[in-house]
């Protein structure tokens, strides 16, 4: 699913919060919460999140 499709889906569902879960290179599960969806999310979906 493309970033544009994810953004469209979130908008259609009127989501108030987005909870991203991922595993870092060491195998630790991490969570990133983004309330009130904003333009930063598009960049995160396209470019990834550095930690």
pLDDT at 51: 63
Model-level pTM? 0.60
Other Cβ atoms closer than 10 A to 16: 9
Structural domain boundaries enclosing 21: 3-47
pLDDT recorded at residue 28: 93
Return the beta strands (E) in 1-51 as ranges. Answer: 17-23, 29-35
> Domain tally for the chain?
1
Q: Say what the pLDDT of residue 19 is.
A: 84
- Per-residue pLDDT of 1-51, as tens digits, reads 888 898 899 889 998 888 888 888 899 998 877 765 566 677 777 787 676
Taking the C-alpha atoms of residue 20 and residue 14, their distance in angstroms, rounded to an integer, is 17
């Amino acid at each position: 699913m493309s970033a544009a499709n994810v953004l469209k889906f979130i908008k259609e569902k009127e989501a108030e919060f987005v909870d991203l879960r991922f595993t870092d290179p060491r195998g630790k599960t991490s969570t990133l919460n983004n309330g009130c969806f904003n333009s930063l999310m598009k960049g995160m979906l396209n470019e990834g999140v550095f930690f």
